[in-house]
Chain A
Amino acid sequence: MSSKVYITGIGAITAIGNNAKENFDSLVHKKHGLTHTRFLNTIHKEIFPVCEINLTNDALASMLGIENKQGYTRTALLGMIAVKEAIEDAGIAWKENTLEKKYKTALINSTTVGGMRHTEEIYLDLLEKESQPETNSYIDTHDLGECTERIADYFGVKSYITTISTACSSSANAIMLGVRLIQQGIVDRAICGGVDSLSKFTINGFNTLMILDKEHCRPFDNTRVGLNLGEGAGYVILESEKIVQEENKKPSCFVSGFANTNDAFHQTASSPNGDGAFMAMSQALAMAHLEPKDISYINVHGTATPNNDLSEGRAMERLFGTDDAPKFSSTKPYTGHTLAACGGIEAVYGVMAIENGVIYPSLNFNEKMEELTIQPETETLTGVEVNHVLSNSFGFGGNNSTVIISKVK
């Protein structure tokens, strides 16, 4: 990799916390966010538990000082809250249009369903009834780019705005694009991550694929049957060496490697041997000039579907061996599977693992998978020298992405 791209700010909101610090505390104290939905009107309400953020849209809007929330989707609001934390964590002034005063900035957002949560509520009215100003204000918020523009407008980002959707690997891809844009000198700084809010559309969609667990999900456990859905947003601020020097910043981490590969096996399933995952992890290691043994912690994709964990686990054993493979855990039981947001949220977790010398525990692991030798970490480990965190995000369409975050020495 050419010039270094640093992580200078982080922000996250999930069912286990409204900011990065709250998320960290929940993780190390094994506090998960699984519950039954309080806000979604679905017939699966009592059947499939979810990891929902316990804040109404009104509450989210008031956290941002937005008085008239008409036209703001939950997705946009969640994204704005996490971006705000990340920008302020990086010490970037943004009020009164100052964000790009000195440095060209990109907003690279990602989502899988964008404004669907509102669309599904108003869709039949839109098709069958006369126009209403309130419902009409959500018509042009359905697509996936709209929430990105709301975020951009709130913070005054203008130079480079785009949105990625590669299913559940989306925000890992947002991070790698941010690094590349900075390395090419197209921007100096990039706000990268993703957001998704819970919707009936996704709950029903994953239910038709029969990969939702009615119980709390059990990543890498032999008895796992599926995932729990969640909602949230996670972003990192990436900045060039130039900014870090000029602003005299002392970032703790940088992005040392990444890769995006395609499994080319099946539209929605991963190959049993994890070919795409194996390639993504190996290529990311090669870019970072690291050996498998250098990795301190793997934040696995670990959705707890039978297919993902087998595929990912086999890929890990192929690459890291079975004897002294790095410690790994899945944080999905805490946050649920937040779809496009998980790569951003888990990058935030990776940074905090490095800064605090901590490895997070997986939850609900009892029985080793019969196909694998490796098993996840189940207790919080503290006082660990965490130098390199490898984070996996895989998705429909065969998308496999790996990002490696390394400690600045």
Chain B
Amino acid sequence: MIKSVYINGIAAISPQNTFEGDDFFSAPISFDDNYLLVQDADYKKYINPVQIRRMSRILKISYSTARKAIEDAGVVSLDAIITGSGYGCIDDTEKFLLSMLHQNEQMLNPTAFMQSTHNSVSGIVALNMKCNSYNFTYVHRGLSFESSMIDAMIHIQEGMKNILVGGFEENSKNHYQVTNKISFWKKNNINSLELLADNNIGTIAGEGANFFVISGEKNEHTYASILDIAMLYKPTSDEEVSKAIQDLLAKNNLTTDDVDVYLTGLNGDNTLDSTYYNMAEKLFASKSMLYFKHLCGEYYTAPSFGLWVASMILKKQMIPDILYCKKQATNSVKYILLHNHYRNINHGFCLLKHE
């Protein structure tokens, strides 16, 4: 990327108290059933009573988060709305699918079908904000959010001013049950805040909506800048991952020494986490290693929660203890490398800078 972009507004509805106020994990919430749900916000503040009755849970969550991010950035109009989600509105998809199967394709209600499309969220934001501009939804598994942010960054290069970018995902009991058959989740219930203590296969399921307003210009709202984002598909070795990280840094005239914090997508699955530990050891031995999935759970667009965490760290210049996997003394945090991977298939890297 030629020009960095600024994160000028953020909002997150997550299993933690991230939405209202300015709290930054002062009292982390734990879950004990491997199934994390968001802390509901007062959706009525953002959605009118007529609309709210028809909206699905994920639409309410995502729409409110989007509005809050826009408010936080203090912008009145958007040049583009870009969302990312691996499963989209899975609850409505399952609802429609199950009624279809149980009712033998009869007497079906269109609402669930209408809201099941992956672009429902970007559509509803455009609709309610009367935003006629560029509207896009990426649905590529663990790279849904990264794809969205790269698109937004290209648009800033091309001249757009303010862009809404968000990642969202919802948990569903049926989906949890089905994916449990292929060992996605831990067999024993654990305390979510002790995610890394359980050295077994599987992780914990999570959800959330994390939205950002990005811009080509810095202002008093700015949290941080994104220097660059890279994606890596199916690396065959950790060397390939390490090379991708070094290439990304080199492209931005930086080295691993410049990175103050290695923020990872560690998820407690002992078949998947070793790459992060290897990178920490080989590239960032003297740096702090952080993680966030004990707070939000695993989901396709969890890196968007990682970006929210990184934005807060850079703005507040403070790292809550709950985030540390490995703590090293740091005076100030100038550069953060956010690294997340989905099942070692999709790797995403985001390089952030303090402003």
A interface, CB within 8 angstroms of B? 42-44, 112, 116, 119-120, 123-124, 126-127, 131, 136, 139-140, 143-146, 148-149, 152-153, 158-167, 173, 177, 180-181, 184, 186, 200-201, 204-205, 207-209, 260-268, 275-276, 279, 395-399
> In the bound complex, how far is the Cα of B139 from the Cα of A397, in angstroms?
15
Q: With an 8 A cutoff between CB atoms, is B72 at the interface?
A: no
Please state if B122 and A161 are interface contacts (CB–CB under 8 Å). no
Please state if A165 and B123 are interface contacts (CB–CB under 8 Å). no
Please state if B134 and A204 are interface contacts (CB–CB under 8 Å). no
Please state if B105 and A200 are interface contacts (CB–CB under 8 Å). yes
Q: With an 8 A cutoff between CB atoms, is B231 at the interface?
A: yes
Q: With an 8 A cutoff between CB atoms, is B171 at the interface?
A: no
Q: Which of B252-293 contact A (CB under 8 A)?
A: none
List of A residues within 8 angstroms of B132 by Cβ:
261-264, 275-276, 279
Most A-side CB within 10 Å, residue of B86, B114, B119, B231:
B119
Please state if B140 and A145 are interface contacts (CB–CB under 8 Å). yes
Measured CB to CB, the closest approach of chain A to B81, in angstroms, equals: 8
Please state if B140 and A163 are interface contacts (CB–CB under 8 Å). yes
Please state if A140 and B135 are interface contacts (CB–CB under 8 Å). no
List of A residues within 8 angstroms of B123 by Cβ:
262, 267, 396-399
Please state if A204 and B177 are interface contacts (CB–CB under 8 Å). no
Please state if B127 and A209 are interface contacts (CB–CB under 8 Å). no
- Assuming the contacts A120-B100, A149-B345, A261-B134, asked whether A165 and B182 have C-beta atoms less than 8 A apart, the reply is no
Q: With an 8 A cutoff between CB atoms, is B104 at the interface?
A: yes
Which residue of B is nearest A279, CB measured?
B132
> In the bound complex, how far is the Cα of B233 from the Cα of A129, in angstroms?
34
Which single member of A112, A164, A265 contacts B117 (CB below 8 Å)?
A112
Measured CB to CB, the closest approach of chain A to B252, in angstroms, equals: 15
Encode contact with A along B117-137: 1 for CB under 8 Å, 0 otherwise: 111101110110111111111
Which residue of A is nearest B113, CB measured?
A205
Please state if B135 and A398 are interface contacts (CB–CB under 8 Å). yes
Please state if B234 and A158 are interface contacts (CB–CB under 8 Å). yes
> In the bound complex, how far is the Cα of B272 from the Cα of A171, in angstroms?
33
Ranked nearest first, the 6 interchain pairs of A and B with the lowest CB-CB distance are: A397-B123, A208-B110, A205-B113, A145-B141, A163-B140, A145-B140
Total A-B Cβ pairs within 8 A:
178
Q: With an 8 A cutoff between CB atoms, is B323 at the interface?
A: no
Which single member of B109, B127, B345 contacts A267 (CB below 8 Å)?
B127
Measured CB to CB, the closest approach of chain A to B95, in angstroms, equals: 12
Please state if B140 and A162 are interface contacts (CB–CB under 8 Å). yes
List of A residues within 8 angstroms of B138 by Cβ:
162-165
Measured CB to CB, the closest approach of chain A to B119, in angstroms, equals: 4
> In the bound complex, how far is the Cα of B110 from the Cα of A285, in angstroms?
36
List of B residues within 8 angstroms of A267 by Cβ:
114-115, 120, 123-124, 127
Please state if B177 and A127 are interface contacts (CB–CB under 8 Å). yes
* Cross-chain pairs A/B with CB under 8 angstroms, 9 sampled: A127-B174, A144-B140, A162-B147, A166-B137, A208-B108, A260-B135, A264-B126, A267-B120, A267-B123
> In the bound complex, how far is the Cα of B140 from the Cα of A143, in angstroms?
8
> In the bound complex, how far is the Cα of B147 from the Cα of A160, in angstroms?
9
Q: Which of B305-355 contact A (CB under 8 A)?
A: 345
Which residue of A is nearest B108, CB measured?
A208
List of B residues within 8 angstroms of A116 by Cβ:
97
> In the bound complex, how far is the Cα of B131 from the Cα of A265, in angstroms?
10
Q: With an 8 A cutoff between CB atoms, is B106 at the interface?
A: yes
Please state if A43 and B110 are interface contacts (CB–CB under 8 Å). no
> In the bound complex, how far is the Cα of B305 from the Cα of A235, in angstroms?
34
Please state if B114 and A268 are interface contacts (CB–CB under 8 Å). yes
- Assuming the contacts A44-B105, A145-B139, A148-B140, asked whether A399 and B119 have C-beta atoms less than 8 A apart, the reply is yes
> In the bound complex, how far is the Cα of B178 from the Cα of A140, in angstroms?
9
Q: Which of B35-91 contact A (CB under 8 A)?
A: 81, 86-88
Encode contact with A along B155-181: 1 for CB under 8 Å, 0 otherwise: 001100000000000000010011101
Please state if B122 and A204 are interface contacts (CB–CB under 8 Å). no
List of B residues within 8 angstroms of A397 by Cβ:
117, 119-120, 122-124, 126, 135, 137
Which residue of A is nearest B174, CB measured?
A127
- Assuming the contacts A43-B104, A43-B106, A209-B110, asked whether A126 and B117 have C-beta atoms less than 8 A apart, the reply is no
Which residue of A is nearest B118, CB measured?
A165
Q: With an 8 A cutoff between CB atoms, is B198 at the interface?
A: no
Please state if B140 and A396 are interface contacts (CB–CB under 8 Å). no
- Assuming the contacts A44-B105, A208-B113, asked whether A166 and B119 have C-beta atoms less than 8 A apart, the reply is yes
> In the bound complex, how far is the Cα of B106 from the Cα of A263, in angstroms?
32
Please state if B133 and A120 are interface contacts (CB–CB under 8 Å). no
Measured CB to CB, the closest approach of chain A to B55, in angstroms, equals: 10
Please state if B127 and A266 are interface contacts (CB–CB under 8 Å). yes
- Assuming the contacts A165-B137, A166-B137, asked whether A396 and B114 have C-beta atoms less than 8 A apart, the reply is yes
List of A residues within 8 angstroms of B179 by Cβ:
139-140
Q: With an 8 A cutoff between CB atoms, is B14 at the interface?
A: no
Q: With an 8 A cutoff between CB atoms, is B154 at the interface?
A: yes
Q: With an 8 A cutoff between CB atoms, is B96 at the interface?
A: yes
Q: With an 8 A cutoff between CB atoms, is B144 at the interface?
A: yes
List of A residues within 8 angstroms of B116 by Cβ:
205
Measured CB to CB, the closest approach of chain A to B340, in angstroms, equals: 15
Which single member of A126, A163, A276, A399 contacts B139 (CB below 8 Å)?
A163
List of B residues within 8 angstroms of A205 by Cβ:
96, 110, 113, 116
Please state if B141 and A143 are interface contacts (CB–CB under 8 Å). yes
Measured CB to CB, the closest approach of chain B to A162, in angstroms, equals: 4
Please state if A166 and B136 are interface contacts (CB–CB under 8 Å). yes
List of B residues within 8 angstroms of A158 by Cβ:
233-234
Which residue of B is nearest A164, CB measured?
B138
- Assuming the contacts A204-B100, A268-B114, A396-B114, asked whether A161 and B140 have C-beta atoms less than 8 A apart, the reply is yes
> In the bound complex, how far is the Cα of B98 from the Cα of A119, in angstroms?
11
Please state if A201 and B234 are interface contacts (CB–CB under 8 Å). no
Please state if A396 and B182 are interface contacts (CB–CB under 8 Å). no
Q: With an 8 A cutoff between CB atoms, is B143 at the interface?
A: yes
Please state if B110 and A399 are interface contacts (CB–CB under 8 Å). no
Please state if B147 and A166 are interface contacts (CB–CB under 8 Å). no
List of B residues within 8 angstroms of A127 by Cβ:
174, 177-178
> In the bound complex, how far is the Cα of B132 from the Cα of A264, in angstroms?
6
- Assuming the contacts A165-B117, A205-B116, A209-B110, asked whether A177 and B151 have C-beta atoms less than 8 A apart, the reply is yes
List of B residues within 8 angstroms of A152 by Cβ:
233
